[in-house]
Amino acid sequence: MFSGIMALDKDSDQSDAIVNLYRAALYLARGSQKTGLQFLVKARKRLGKSLLPRLPADELKSRQQQLFWAEKILDQYKKLKSL
């Protein structure tokens, strides 16, 4: 039975980039802005800049903004994972 969810291949660069999106969201939600942005940069390099807009550091000054962007990144992760 096909569930419609792509199984992430551990040897795939694209799958690794998609998982980096999850990691970016996780670290941003935990308040670790530097680590979250590093994972986001890694994901952008592999997935392409058109899929993931550049996130200016000044957009993450408040805790509320970090949580907002973590949720947006997690939404993108879920979207790409389901393709």
Residue 8 lies in a domain: no
pLDDT of residue 49: 76
pLDDT of residue 63: 92
Does residue 3 register a pLDDT over 60? no
Residue 72 lies in a domain: yes
Q: Which domain holds residue 17?
A: 13-48+56-81
Residue 7 lies in a domain: no
Instruction: Provide DSSP, 3-59.
Output: -S-PPPPTT-HHHHHHHHHHHHHHHHHHT-HHHHHHHHHHHHHHH-TTTS----GGG
Residue 44 lies in a domain: yes
Q: How many domains does the chain have?
A: 1
Kindly report, residue by residue over 10-60, the tens digit of the pLDDT: 668 888 999 999 999 999 999 999 999 999 999 988 888 777 767 776 778
pLDDT of residue 42: 92
Does residue 81 register a pLDDT over 80? yes
